[in-house]
Amino acid sequence: MRILFLGDIVGRPGRHAVAERLPRLRERWRLDCVVINGENAAGGFGITESICDEILQAGADAVTLGNHSFDQREALVFIARQPRLIRPANYPPGTPGRGATVIETARGARVLVVNVMGRIYLDPLDDPFAAADRELEACPLGAAADAVIVDMHAEATSEKQAMGHFLDGRASLVVGTHTHAPTADHRVLPHGTAYLSDAGMCGDYDSVLGMQKEEPVRRFLQKTPGSRLEAATGPGTLCGVAVETDDSTGLAKRVWAVRLGPHLEESWPREWD
């Protein structure tokens, strides 16, 4: 199975990069499943129903979220009727939406997609390790699922790495999101799980985490109230990770970093071309 995971979409540049590139990539790379983190898609803060539909129509099979899940209040309502949009599974009981979903690919394979959020330097939610464990126990790789993708939305690389090792051999891919800077540690862990500490963002990298540079820089210099953060408006780069799994086990055989667009050195699975 060929899987593509794309990091946090930030504002219009990220949405445009996905809309322009993803349909061609699905065909060119013969992708079976595409998952995208969309928690910053609406101007950098949350997601709306129309934007979620736009991402799905561009070729995503599922959209994950994070600490900005409900910045757009309409998400509290429409997330309940959109099974392909998931928020972290370790939100407290009673939170609208779901923390996992099963996608059926065009070839009939079942892909479990799980979203959890770390607790270091973020809101102290329920235990993400216990939440991930529950979801994988309910839908185990090789039995109920042909592939398992876990989006670990977290600040600390240590917490992400710990999740990768905790789920090694039980997931096809554990990938970190949230910090918007792609890391270079993509690899297949000893028991067959592909891992990357952070997928980066889909957005304008001539920015501060996808936001226009001036206000974030001013805040660091002056530490005083100022104007609201605005998403950058330059051309967007597509960032994420590509994984090829073994059909018999669902575990990863190969993993590649994906970076397509300006400002960063480009990288992609050339073996798929």
pLDDT tens-digit profile of 38-87?
999 999 999 999 999 999 999 999 999 999 999 999 999 999 999 999 99
Is 175's pLDDT higher than 90? Answer: yes
| Cβ-contact 64, 113 below 8 angstroms | yes
What's the chain's average pLDDT? Answer: 97
Is 225's pLDDT higher than 90? Answer: no
DSSP of 33-92: EEEEE-TBTTTTS---HHHHHHHHHHT-SEEE--TTTTSSTTHHHHGGG-TTEE--TTSP
Query: Residues 113-117: what's their mean pLDDT?
Result: 98
Q: Which of 211, 84, 67 is nearest to 153 (CA)?
A: 67
Distance of CA 12 to the CA centre of its chain: 17
What CA–CA distance (Å, rounded) separates 175 from 200?
10
What CA–CA distance (Å, rounded) separates 220 from 224?
9
Q: What percent of the chain has pLDDT over 90?
A: 98
Residue 223: its pLDDT value, please? Answer: 87
**Residue in 68, 178, 180, 186 annotated catalytic:** 68
| Cβ-contact 84, 49 below 8 angstroms | no
Is 92's pLDDT higher than 90? Answer: yes
Is 15's pLDDT higher than 90? Answer: yes
Query: Residues 182-211: what's their mean pLDDT?
Result: 98
Q: Is 236 helix (H, G, I), strand (E, B) or coil?
A: coil
Residue 119: its pLDDT value, please? Answer: 97
Query: Residues 175-192: what's their mean pLDDT?
Result: 98
Annotation says 178 is catalytic = no
